[in-house]
Structures are given as C-alpha cells and as structure tokens.
Structure 1
Amino acid sequence: METIGSRIKMIRKLNKINQVDFSNRIGISQATLSELEQDKYKPSVDTILAIVEGFKADVEWILIGTKSAEGKAFGIREVNEKEANLFVHFDKLKTTDQDEIIDFIKLKLNRY
C-alpha cells in the first residue's frame, strides 16, 4: 500500500537526488526525511508545500495518492499506478538484479 512516505521517496528517486540534497532543498534534516520516508512521522504542511514547489509535485497525489484535476502527480510526466509500483519494487532490488531486469526489458522491446 502506498503511503505519504513512499510517495515522497518516489519523488526523490525520480529526481535522482540523495536524501541529503533532497532534505536541504525542502528545508529539513536528512534524519527527518528518512523518518518521513519510513512513515514514522507525517510531514508538516510547510514540508509538503516545499516538495510541491521545489519538485512540481501534486499536493493531492502526495497526500492521498491521486492526481488533482489541474495537473499531474509529477513534473516529469504522469506516472500510472503500475509504473509507480514497478519503480518502488525495482528500487529495492540489488544492482545486479536491476541490470538483469533492464536487459530483459530491452530483449522484449527488440522483439517487437
């Protein structure tokens, strides 16, 4: 089940930023960010607004997991639930396993 913490982590990962840089950009400590991503605490309104402004994320998506009528969940492009789920699980794999999956995807794409 997606949580606010997992969505914050997804925004960070999609922007290819480590916890230290992400936390500095939104004005919190790295330790606080780590706890937010692990759902130990809920983010403050100021933190959510900093993420929305700094990373063009949709506030509704951060809070409840759906995009608002005005925009997309991410500034990058709209990510559907299947893609988001894939990313979250992919990120948990060892690098060698990630490489195998990427090679498999390339193989599948070359077939068509």
Structure 2
Amino acid sequence: MNIIGDNIKTVRKINSLNQIEFAKVLGISQGTLSDIESGKSKPSLETLISLLEKFDVNLYWLIKGQSFFESKLRKTEIKDNLRESIILIENELKESYLQIPFLDLYLLRDELFTTKISNNENKLLGLFRRLKPKDQEDIISFIEVKLSKNKKQTPSIS
C-alpha cells in the first residue's frame, strides 16, 4: 500500500501539473518524485513541508490515506444532514403549533451557517417571524419610512 505516494500524485493531478513541473515546485528531481509516487521511496521531511506549504495539503489526510474528495464529501454530507434535521424539526414544530418564545430554529440554522447576529436582531427576527404576512409587510413598510426619514436628516459626507 502506497498511501502517501498515491496522495501526493492526487495533489499533483488536482493541480494539473506533470511530474517535472510538480517536482520543480517541491524542490526535488522528477526521478525522486516518480519513486515517491510509485512507492519505491518515501518523501523527506523537507519535501513534506514544501508540499504542505505550497499546496495547502492537510498532513493528516496525506498520511491517513483518505481520498481528497471523500474528505470534502464527508464535510458536505454532515452539513446537509444537519440542515435536513433542522428543517424536519422546524416542520414538526409548525405542524404541532408549538410556539416557544424566542426559540427560533431559523436562527439556529442561520447561526450554524452564516454570521452571528446581535441579541436585538435575534429578538426582532423571532418576533417578526411570529407575525402574519400582512403584519410583516406593515413592519417592513414602517422600517423603510424610518430609514428614508433618517437618510434625509443625516448630512451627507463629501
């Protein structure tokens, strides 16, 4: 089994480099690279460091032998499964008409996958989402009027 050599070859191919180009970037000869990729020899510490720095390769992945795409796919699958679980919980809560003040699973989802919001934004969003659509439209109109008044009152900086 030639885990390290196979993974080094994968990095080279992902970067669309031939052995000569890749070896030059790593600071080794094409023959040495060929021996590493075929499993005839192991890379030196210097070669490994160069590989990690120049191609942003994870040392754990390089040595463990997990395929590069499998690792990325696993992270994507975890996020997708988490999103699906949150959506299922949201739907169950909606169906049972369970309303717990300030518990908003949309915010949990947003917090997991986007930037954080302030406590006031959290409170406002939680309250807003409990309103009927027509009332939400009224609130949006009110905020737009407020913002337009503030814009008129604020002197422009030139």
TM-score, normalization by structure 2: 0.42
Q: Structure 1: where are the runs of 5+ without partners?
A: 68-72, 74-78, 84-112
The match for 1:7 is 7
Matched AA of 1:3: I
Retained in 1: the 8 A contact 2:8–2:37?
yes
Larger Rg: 2
Runs of 4+ in 1 over 2 A off after TM superposition: none
Determine which structure has the larger helix proportion and give its number: 2
2:70 to 80, 84, 90: 80
TM-score, normalization by structure 1: 0.58
Rounded Cα–Cα distance in structure 2 between residues aligned with 1:48 and 1:19: 16
The match for 2:106 is none
Matched AA of 1:42: K
The match for 2:18 is 18
Query: 1:53: Cα distance to partner?
Result: 0.6
- Greater RCO (Cα-Cα under 8 Å, separation 6 or more): 1
The match for 1:65 is 65
The match for 2:37 is 37
Matched AA of 1:5: G
Query: 1:65: Cα distance to partner?
Result: 2.2
Rounded Cα–Cα distance in structure 1 between residues aligned with 2:31 and 2:6: 16
Coordinate RMSD, CA, aligned: 2.1
1:39-91 CA-partner distances (Å, limit 9, x unpaired): 00111111011011111110111112259xxxxx5xxxxx116x8xxxxxxxx
Q: Structure 2: where are the runs of 5+ without partners?
A: 74-158
Query: 1:2: Cα distance to partner?
Result: 5.7
Retained in 2: the 8 A contact 1:49–1:59?
no
Report matched runs for 1:43-58 at 5 Å.
Answer: 43-58=43-58
Query: 1:3: Cα distance to partner?
Result: 1.1
